[in-house]
């Protein structure tokens, strides 16, 4: 592959300003090739990144970054930006341990302003930054790139509302591909589609010009801008009433893959004072046959064969298993399943097909999903809400206020609990246990095997109080057995890490170091069989794939503090830190939670008087 333009830019990013339109198009081609070849080896958000190549190149050509800045909402689509800001040589380490992050990361480069990975934050952070810029009397621009999926997020709405009244000069580029991971859901998406397909103006052009001319001081200038855009694009200016009512000027729709058109429009709209939204239509997965055909599968994909589009190792996941158990249970029991735009990741797609009336994808709206479930349950139905652990952080107050305070038996399925490979600190699922434990009325299960998980799901259907069930991405072991042989110390491990602990304990017993082991499912309130046996030991070790503060081990320690003060407790787990990128195995090894690390900790505690 000839990477020449990218290599030139890698040596000096400003050189992009000297490129001809033809060269910019060639640059886009090079970027696509680099992204496809790298993601085919390392995995990553392929389709989202291929869809924003022209927008990103146009912005780098047009802006002076820094001091100008681009803020990508979520940031999963920032690969082209990384390639244009001096990270070409390290790009092969994308999503690897100590490599380039799959999301913006200021420690890699100053043009990545925030370390992000959750939806809906870009408009608010841009507004904060631009507020200071205007206080300083500065001229630097802030441009937000946001997908139509993220636009539906509640935090985005709060930002838009504030932005409209603030009158700050921010350009939002709406990257509208009509997909979040699956098709974007909800009324706003329907509205955007209507805007795109509207063949004629709802108001006459003259009427629009008349209205614009009335804007004091600026109207005439804006009319020129509008005329200019009309001449230079094939598109008419459709009044985006929704945005206009919020105080945000709407321009578009334009072709988000036509660099000339993007640049022409940008040149014109920058003179407009106040917030502007430029609606760009893009194709998710653009430029690679297989991702264009199947943008859902290639939204976030593991290693694949570039020639055939086939994934090299399509791994099973615990979520897939949960989906199939719920599909079976759905035959016998009437319950609803709710997801926030994660139907496939959570393994709910087959349930959704089979029981379309009992499945709701509410868009990227985790907080809403919990309260919606509370409403369904209050009205007499059973509801499961599936959320990744990291996004559950958005719902603390709804679990507290709308579910637990009301003592409503909503079942929260927490997928991706524990260490998450590849995505880095924004996606680790290691805090849920600690923050849920503080809430009264909730019962928390951390199943340690597939068998145990199935039993827990069956139990949850009948439960009459709020329930959380946390499980990892990678498949749990089929079964994990107790070892109770009168050992000198008791090892307790919950959830996904129980398997490693059982292996470590078996090894130690073979070495004639007598340790007992019990896998633990219910951590709050602590399951009775564990409480019952504790008094028989002088030393207890706990282990969890979560931060060690305020987790399962802390429950055991508190219990010992109350009732069994002669027992010494060693808590193992993850430190209270932001875990960096790496695979689960690499990070478990680093934190000594792999089999060898656990053996060492148990031995030390065993021999230590
Ligand atoms: C709060 C939150 N919930 C869920 C996700 C998972 N997620 C990552 S990308 C994505 C889809 C985003 O869609 P869109 O903004 O339209 O961007 P596209 O990938 O289509 O370009 C989702 C739901 C997230 N990052 N943040």
Task: State the pLDDT at residue 235.
Answer: 40
Give the distance (Å) from ligand 1 centre to CA of residue 124: 17
Q: Is 346 in the pocket of ligand 1 (CB under 6 A)?
A: no
DSSP 448: -
Q: Which residue lies with its CA nearest to atom 20 of ligand 1? A: 180
Kindly give the number of the ligand 1 atom that is closest to the alpha carbon of 77: 21
- pLDDT tens per residue, range 312-358: 987 789 999 999 999 999 999 999 999 999 999 999 999 999 999 99
Kindly give the number of the ligand 1 atom that is closest to the alpha carbon of 118: 26
Cβ neighbours, 10 Å, residue 497: 27
Give the distance (Å) from ligand 1 centre to CA of residue 283: 15
Q: Is 118 in the pocket of ligand 1 (CB under 6 A)?
A: yes
Task: State the pLDDT at residue 192.
Answer: 78
Give domain status of residue 226, yes or no.
yes
Pocket test for ligand 1, best of 35, 52, 73, 74 (most atoms within 8 A of CB): 74
Give domain status of residue 358, yes or no.
no
Q: Which residue lies with its CA nearest to atom 15 of ligand 1? A: 147
- In 482-551, where does DSSP find H-type helix? 498-510, 528-534
- pLDDT tens per residue, range 233-242: 434 445 578 8
Q: Is 76 in the pocket of ligand 1 (CB under 6 A)?
A: yes
Give the distance (Å) from ligand 1 centre to CA of residue 119: 6
Q: Is 53 in the pocket of ligand 1 (CB under 6 A)?
A: no
Give domain status of residue 536, yes or no.
no
Pocket test for ligand 1, best of 71, 76, 295 (most atoms within 8 A of CB): 76
Q: Which residue lies with its CA nearest to atom 12 of ligand 1? A: 180
Give the separation between CA 476 and CA 469, rounded to whole angstroms.
Answer: 14
DSSP 476: P
Structurally, the chain folds into a number of domains equal to 1
Q: How confident is the model at residue 286 (pLDDT cuts 50, 70, 90)?
A: very high
- pLDDT tens per residue, range 246-275: 999 998 889 999 999 999 999 988 888 899
Q: Is 189 in the pocket of ligand 1 (CB under 6 A)?
A: no
Give the distance (Å) from ligand 1 centre to CA of residue 180: 6
Q: Is 554 in the pocket of ligand 1 (CB under 6 A)?
A: no
Q: Is 149 in the pocket of ligand 1 (CB under 6 A)?
A: yes
For position 256, which CATH number holds?
A: 3.40.50.970
Q: Is 389 in the pocket of ligand 1 (CB under 6 A)?
A: no
pTM: 0.93
Give the separation between CA 581 and CA 367, rounded to whole angstroms.
Answer: 27
Q: Which residue lies with its CA nearest to atom 25 of ligand 1? A: 118
Pocket test for ligand 1, best of 52, 80, 115, 119 (most atoms within 8 A of CB): 119
Give domain status of residue 566, yes or no.
no
Q: Is 181 in the pocket of ligand 1 (CB under 6 A)?
A: yes
Q: Is 365 in the pocket of ligand 1 (CB under 6 A)?
A: no
- Residue 223, pLDDT > 90, answer no
Q: Is 177 in the pocket of ligand 1 (CB under 6 A)?
A: yes
Task: State the pLDDT at residue 244.
Answer: 87
CA distances to 44, 77, 265, 421 from 41, in Å: 9, 18, 37, 15
Q: Which residue lies with its CA nearest to atom 19 of ligand 1? A: 48
Given a contact cutoff of 8 angstroms between Cβ atoms, the answer to whether 142 and 59 are in contact is: no
Q: Is 470 in the pocket of ligand 1 (CB under 6 A)?
A: no
Pocket test for ligand 1, best of 101, 151, 181 (most atoms within 8 A of CB): 181
Give the distance (Å) from ligand 1 centre to CA of residue 522: 32
Give the distance (Å) from ligand 1 centre to CA of residue 30: 25
User: 541: closest CA among 602, 477, 462?
Assistant: 602
Q: Is 283 in the pocket of ligand 1 (CB under 6 A)?
A: no
Q: Which residue lies with its CA nearest to atom 4 of ligand 1? A: 364
- Residue 224, pLDDT > 70, answer no
Share of the chain above pLDDT 70, in %: 92
**Alpha carbon 346 to chain centroid, angstroms:** 13
Domain ranges, residue 80: 4-293
Give domain status of residue 120, yes or no.
yes
Give domain status of residue 561, yes or no.
no
Kindly give the number of the ligand 1 atom that is closest to the alpha carbon of 76: 9
- Residue 213, pLDDT > 80, answer no
Q: Is 341 in the pocket of ligand 1 (CB under 6 A)?
A: yes
- pLDDT tens per residue, range 111-149: 999 999 999 999 999 999 999 999 999 999 999 999 999
Average per-residue pLDDT for the chain: 92
Residue labelled with tokens 């480069």: 109
| Burial of 512 (C-beta count, 10 Å sphere; 0-12/13-18/19+) | exposed
Residue labelled with tokens 């199947």: 294
Give the distance (Å) from ligand 1 centre to CA of residue 490: 43
Task: State the pLDDT at residue 357.
Answer: 97
Give the distance (Å) from ligand 1 centre to CA of residue 176: 12
Given a contact cutoff of 8 angstroms between Cβ atoms, the answer to whether 496 and 418 are in contact is: yes
Give domain status of residue 127, yes or no.
yes
Task: State the pLDDT at residue 428.
Answer: 97
Task: State the pLDDT at residue 354.
Answer: 98
- Residue 495, pLDDT > 70, answer yes
Share of the chain above pLDDT 90, in %: 85
- pLDDT tens per residue, range 370-428: 999 999 999 999 999 999 999 999 999 999 999 999 999 999 999 999 999 999 999 99
- Residue 206, pLDDT > 70, answer no
- Report the pLDDT averaged over residues 6-18: 95
∠ CA 181-45-294 to the nearest 5 degrees? 55
Concatenating the DSSP letter of every residue in 212-258 gives HHTSTTTHHHHHHHHHHHHHHSS------HHHHHTT-EEEEEEETT-
- pLDDT tens per residue, range 498-539: 999 999 999 999 999 999 999 999 999 999 999 999 999 999
Catalytic residue numbers read 284, 366, 394
Task: State the pLDDT at residue 190.
Answer: 76
Instruction: List, in sequence order, every residue forming a beta bridge with 444; answer none if it has no partner.
Output: 468, 524
CA distances to 175, 179, 252, 298 from 51, in Å: 8, 11, 17, 12
């Amino acid at each position: 592959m000839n990477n020449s333009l990218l290599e030139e830019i890698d040596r000096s990013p400003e050189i992009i300003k000297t490129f001809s339109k033809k060269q910019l198009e060639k640059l886009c081609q090079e970027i696509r090739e680099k992204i496809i070849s790298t993601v085919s080896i390392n995995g990553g958000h392929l389709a989202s990144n291929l869809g924003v190549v022209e927008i990103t190149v146009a912005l780098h050509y047009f802006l002076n970054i820094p001091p100008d800045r681009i803020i990508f909402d979520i940031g999963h689509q920032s690969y082209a930006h990384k390639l244009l800001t001096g990270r070409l040589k390290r790009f092969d380490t994308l999503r690897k341990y100590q490599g380039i992050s799959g999301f913006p990361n200021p420690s890699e480069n100053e043009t990545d302003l925030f370390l992000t990975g959750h939806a809906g934050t870009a408009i608010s952070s841009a507004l904060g930054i631009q507020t200071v810029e205007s206080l300083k009397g500065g001229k630097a621009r802030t441009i937000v790139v946001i997908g139509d999926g993220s636009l539906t997020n509640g935090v985005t709405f709060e930002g838009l509302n504030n932005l409209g009244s603030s009158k700050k000069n921010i350009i939002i580029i709406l990257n509208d591909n009509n997909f979040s991971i699956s098709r974007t859901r909800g009324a706003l998406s329907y509205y955007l589609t209507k805007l795109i397909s509207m063949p004629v103006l709802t108001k006459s052009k003259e009427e629009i010009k008349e209205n614009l001319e009335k804007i004091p001081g600026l109207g005439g200038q804006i009319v020129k801008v509008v005329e200019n855009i009309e001449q230079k694009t094939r598109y008419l200016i459709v009044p985006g009433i929704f945005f206009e009512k919020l105080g945000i000027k709407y321009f578009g729709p334009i072709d988000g893959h036509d660099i000339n058109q993007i640049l022409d429009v940008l040149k014109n709209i920058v003179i407009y004072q106040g917030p502007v939204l430029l609606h760009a239509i893009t194709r998710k997965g653009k430029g690679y046959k297989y991702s264009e055909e199947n943008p859902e599968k290639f939204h976030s994909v593991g290693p694949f064969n570039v020639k055939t589009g086939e994934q090299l190792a399509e791994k099973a996941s615990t979520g897939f298993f949960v989906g199939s158990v719920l599909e079976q249970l759905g035959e016998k029991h009437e319950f609803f399943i709710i997801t926030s735009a994660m139907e496939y990741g959570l393994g709910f797609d087959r349930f959704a097909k089979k029981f379309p009336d009992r499945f709701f994808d509410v868009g990227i709206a985790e907080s809403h999903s919990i309260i919606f479930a509370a409403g369904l349950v209050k009205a007499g139905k059973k509801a499961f809400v599936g959320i990744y652990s990291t996004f559950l952080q958005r719902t603390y107050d709804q679990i507290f206020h709308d579910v637990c305070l009301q003592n409503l038996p909503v079942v929260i399925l927490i997928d991706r609990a524990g260490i998450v490979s590849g995505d880095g600190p924004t996606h680790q699922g290691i805090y849920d246990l600690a923050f849920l434990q503080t809430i009264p009325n909730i019962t928390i299960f951390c199943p340690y095997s597939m068998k145990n998980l199935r039993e827990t799901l069956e139990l949850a259907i009948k439960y009459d109080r709020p329930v959380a069930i946390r499980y990892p991405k990678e498949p749990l072991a089929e079964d994990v057995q107790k070892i109770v042989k009168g050992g000198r110390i008791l090892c307790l491990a919950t959830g996904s890490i129980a398997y490693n602990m059982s292996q470590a304990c078996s090894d130690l017993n073979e070495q004639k170091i007598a340790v007992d082991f019990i896998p633990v499912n219910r951590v709050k309130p602590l399951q009775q069989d564990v409480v019952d046996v504790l008094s028989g030991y002088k030393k207890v070790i706990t282990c969890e794939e979560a931060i060690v503060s305020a987790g399962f081990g802390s429950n055991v320690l508190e219990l010992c503090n109350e009732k069994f003060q002669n027992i010494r407790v060693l808590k193992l787990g993850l430190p209270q830190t932001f875990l960096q990128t790496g695979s689960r195995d690499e990070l478990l090894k680093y934190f000594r939670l792999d089999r060898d690390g656990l053996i060492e900790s148990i031995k030390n505690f065993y021999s230590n008087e």
